[in-house]
Amino acid sequence: MKKILVTGAFGQIGSELVPVLREKYGKENVIAMGHITSPTPRLEEGPIVFGDVVHKEDLDKMIRKFDIDTVYHLAAIISAKGELNPQIAYKINMTGLYNVLELAREHALERIVVPSSMAVFGPDAPQDNTPTDTILHPTTMYGMTKVAGELLGSYYFSKYGIDVRGVRYPGILSSETPPTAGTTDYATAVFYDGIRTRKYECFLKEDTTLPMMYMCDAIKALMDLAEAPLKNLKHHTDFNVAAMSFSPKEIFTELKKYLPDLQISYKPDYRQAIADSWPRSLDDSAAHEEWGWKHSIDLPTMVKDLYEKLSARLEK
Ligand code: AKB
């Protein structure tokens, strides 16, 4: 049975990935490692540990203690928070990944799964149906660390045979953790503010179309790639994955079906420039061809599910 360490486990993706991994591989075999934020109650149903990915010895201790063979390395500072503190983003994203890869080499780990992001693209890439293989000139520290991370992962594969894999996520919407640090987080924040106050001030312009995905598809993408036969993969660390694209206006219109008195105002801030540098839609044909990727959730289904889950929790 696999022994999996998940870094950044208390964050947006980790809080939902860990329970799914535990269902598949057994509760005791998936160790959730977090740092500053608190774990959700569901994470406490299995082993949780505290440690900082910037400190190699913290990771080393966990790998030895739990006899880890696979790491899902989620710990990262994402776009908006990264622009507020690029130095911290560089340290966590680069040193954290480097530590994980070096430990993978030292302990001959079986697999490293590390998400990348559409933030690897910048204004020089085609914005519609952006291909997996195209020019990567990001303008954010987050995007730069993700490009470097993809390349480092590929280097460790070709130089040391470490099986490093990753998908480039679009914006992800989810119900378990409140949105904080991303440029695409407006799409979840509107549910929180809308349900509580019936008002939301959006930090992007109404027509800013971005690629997005519901969390269950995001988890499926990472786990499907992690399980794909190595011989089928031509790419490793840099698969575009897509589900839907929408603008603020489009998702707000969908949400108004459930909250007809929702009032929206727009006050674009520094995050608008980040969004403007990203794709409007992604071509994920490489993921489809090499490991059979296909999303299942569309905009109306996602909005209904998110509204039902969050209104049940927030209106208590
Ligand atoms: C962000 O907005 O920074 C993230 C991402 C696209 O990686 N959701």
> What CATH number corresponds to the domain at position 35?
3.40.50.720
> Does residue 79's CB lie within 6 angstroms of at least one atom of ligand 1?
yes
Asked if residue 288 belongs to a domain, the reply is no
Instruction: Verify that 206 and 136 share a domain, yes or no.
Output: no
169 lines ligand 1 (CB under 6 A): yes
Q: Phi/psi at 29 (nearest 5 deg)?
A: -95, 0
Residue 263 is part of a domain; what is its CATH number?
3.90.25.10
For residue 28, report the distance from its CA to the centre of ligand 1, in Å: 30
Residues 92 and 192 occupy one common structural domain? no
Indicate the top mutation candidate among 120, 167, 169 to test ligand 1's pocket, ranked by most ligand atoms within 8 A of CB. 169
Q: Are residues 198 and 305 in the same domain?
A: yes
The answer to whether residue 110 is domain-embedded is yes
Atom 5 in ligand 1: residue holding the nearest Cα: 171
Distance 181 CA to ligand 1 centre (A): 8
Give percent above pLDDT 70 in the chain: 100
Q: Are 103 and 204 in a shared domain?
A: no
Give the Cα separation of 169 and 119 in Å (integer): 9
34 & 9 share domain: yes
Probe target for ligand 1 pocket from 145, 185, 209, with the most ligand atoms within 8 Å of CB: 185
Residue 307 lies in a domain: yes
Separation between Cα atoms, residue 216 and residue 205, nearest integer Å = 27
| Same domain assignment for residues 43 and 55 | yes
Q: Are 198 and 219 within one domain?
A: no
- Identify whether residues 109 and 125 lie together within a single domain: yes
Q: Is residue 292 part of a domain?
A: no
Does 287 map to a domain? no
Specify whether 142 is catalytic: yes
Q: How many domains does the chain have?
A: 2
Domain span including residue 79: 4-170+214-240
The predicted pLDDT at position 41 comes to 87
Do 293 and 220 form a contact (C-beta atoms < 8 A)? no
Paired sense of beta strands 4-7 and 70-73, if any: parallel
**Residue 223 within any structural domain of the chain:** yes
Q: How far is the CA of 182 from the centre of ligand 1 (A)?
A: 5
| 274-289: average pLDDT | 98
Name residue, tokens 């489809």: 288
Report pTM.
0.95
- Catalytic hit among 72, 142, 156, 214: 142
Does some domain include residue 291?
no
- Ligand 1 midpoint to CA 147 (Å): 14
One domain, residues 120 and 181: no
Is 182 close to ligand 1, i.e. is its CB under 6 Å away? yes
176 alpha carbon – ligand 1 mean position (Å): 17
| For helices 299-314 and 248-255, angle between their N-to-C axes, nearest 10 degrees | 60
DSSP calls for 151-180? HHHHHHHHHH--EEE-EEE-EEE-SSS---
Residues 200 and 260 in one domain: yes
* Residue 266, beta-bridge partner list: 202
Same-domain pairing of 204 and 84: no
| Mean pLDDT of all residues belonging to the chain | 96
User: Does the pLDDT value for residue 153 go beyond 70?
Assistant: yes
pLDDT-derived band at 119 (thresholds 50, 70, 90) equals very high
Instruction: State pLDDT tens for residues 198-229.
Output: 999 999 999 999 999 999 999 999 999 999 99
Ligand 1, atom 7: nearest CA belongs to which residue?
Answer: 117
Same domain, 44 and 178: no
Q: How far apart are CA 62 and CA 64, in angstroms?
A: 5
| Residue 285: inside a domain | no
